[in-house]
Amino acid sequence: MGHLLDFKNKSIKLCDVVGESGELGGTGFFHVRGECPMSSFKGRYSYSVDNKGRINIPVKLRKNLSPEANDTFVITRGFEQCLFLYPLDEWNKLEIAIRDLSPANPQHRFFVRTLLQWATEAQLDSQARVSIPQDLLKFAAIDSEVIILGVLERIEIWNPQIYENYMSSQAVSYENVAEAVFRAKP
pLDDT per residue as tens digits for the range 48-91: 999 999 999 999 999 888 888 889 999 999 999 999 999 999 99
pLDDT digits (tens, 9 = 90+) for 104-133: 999 999 999 999 999 999 999 999 999 999
User: Three-state DSSP class for 92?
Assistant: helix
In angstroms, the Cα distances linking 149 to 3, 18, 158 are: 30, 26, 8
Q: Where are the domains of the chain?
A: 38-184
Q: What pTM was computed for the model?
A: 0.76
In the chain, the N- to C-terminal Cα span, in Å, equals 25
CA–CA distances in Å: residue 172 to residues 7, 79, 96, 183: 43, 19, 33, 16
Task: Give the homologous superfamily in CATH for domain 38-184.
Answer: Transcriptional regulator MraZ domain (3.40.1550.20)
Q: Are 32 and 15 in contact (CB under 8 A)?
A: yes
User: Residue 103 has what pLDDT?
Assistant: 93
d(CA 161, CA 10): 38
Q: Please give the residue that has the higher pLDDT: either 132 or 25.
A: 132
